[in-house]
Each structure stands twice: as structure tokens, then as C-alpha cells.
């Protein structure tokens, strides 16, 4: 796959997230802007390629397998994570990625 195609694919998936996840997000402001508590920015957008790979490789009805894959493949390299699998944003429900895994997977699958 060419890098142009990859870029276009990612753009399409990002648009899907913005259309199908952000409007339901508690951090989405009335001003139409993301107010994520994470100073690094919403983890969904930081790890979109990894989320696309997870959505393409897992085909389960239950969300557990996706949540496990997120912890293993994304949280492990997220700079927010602390030793012992703790994440202050997950603990306080302030990570958009952690909160909306089902919506994110659905949005990516619909845009595939
Ligand atoms: S935190 Fe993530 S899901 Fe929520 S509005 Fe921002 S970009 Fe969208
Ligand atoms: S739950 Fe924490 S470690 Fe995992 S993606 Fe979200 S901010 Fe990063």
C-alpha cells in the first residue's frame, strides 16, 4: 500500500472518529472543540493506526478482546501510563480512548 493511500485511509478513519465518537464525548465542547484533559491530546487520535489495526484483526461481539488489545498494544506505549498498568486518565475516566472503545471500533469498521 502506498504512503498516499495510507494517509488517505487514516484521514477517513479520523473523520469517522470525529463524526461518530466526538459528538458523544463528554470532552467535546459546545464550541465544537475537543477539551481532552490529556495535555498530549486525545489518545484516540494519537493511536489511530494502532486502533485501526486492532479493529481489523479482532472480530468479536464482546468488547473485552478489544479492551485487552488496547491495554497491550496502546496503553503499554502511551506516555501517560505509569508502572503497574496504572493510568491516571483511565482511573478518572478521563481517557476518551478508554471510555469509547465500542464506538471507536464501530466507527472504524463502518469507514473501512
Ligand atoms: S477527547 Fe477524543 S473523542 Fe473526545 S472530543 Fe476529544 S478527540 Fe473526540
Ligand atoms: S487509558 Fe491511559 S495509558 Fe491507555 S491510552 Fe488512555 S491515557 Fe493512554
State pLDDT tens for residues 24-58.
999 999 999 999 999 999 999 999 999 999 999 99
Overall pTM > 0.75: yes
- Could you please report the per-residue DSSP string of 6-30? HHHHHHHHHHHHHHHTGGG-TTB-T
pLDDT computed for residue 15 by the predictor: 98
Task: Answer for the pair 40, 46: CB distance below 8 angstroms, yes or no.
Answer: yes
Ligand 1 proximal residues by C-beta, below 6 Å: 21-22, 25, 27-28, 34, 36, 42, 44-45, 96
Residues facing 82 on adjacent strands: 86
Q: What is the pLDDT of residues 60-92, one digit of tens each?
A: 999 999 999 999 999 999 977 666 778 999 999
Of 106, 86, 84, give the one whose Cα is nearest residue 95: 86
- Give, using CA atoms, the residue closest to atom 8 of ligand 1: 22
Q: Which ligand is nearest to the CA of 14?
A: 1
Question: What's the pLDDT score for residue 89?
Answer: 93
Give the model's confidence band at 2: pLDDT under 50 very low, under 70 low, under 90 confident, else very high. Answer: confident
pLDDT of residue 81: 64
Q: Which atom of ligand 1 is nearest to the CA of 18?
A: 8
Span 15-19, average pLDDT? 98
Amino acid at each position: 500500500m502506498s504512503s498516499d493511500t495510507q494517509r488517505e485511509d487514516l484521514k477517513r478513519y479520523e473523520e469517522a472518529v470525529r463524526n461518530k465518537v466526538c459528538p458523544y464525548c463528554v470532552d467535546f465542547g459546545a464550541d465544537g472543540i475537543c477539551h481532552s484533559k490529556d495535555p498530549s491530546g486525545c489518545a484516540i487520535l494519537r493511536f489511530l493506526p494502532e486502533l485501526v489495526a486492532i479493529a481489523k484483526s479482532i472480530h468479536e461481539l464482546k468488547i473485552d478482546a478489544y479492551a485487552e488489545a488496547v491495554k497491550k498494544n496502546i496503553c503499554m506505549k502511551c506516555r501517560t501510563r505509569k508502572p503497574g498498568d496504572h493510568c491516571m486518565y483511565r482511573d478518572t475516566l478521563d481517557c476518551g480512548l478508554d471510555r469509547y472503545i465500542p464506538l471507536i471500533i464501530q466507527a472504524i469498521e463502518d469507514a473501512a
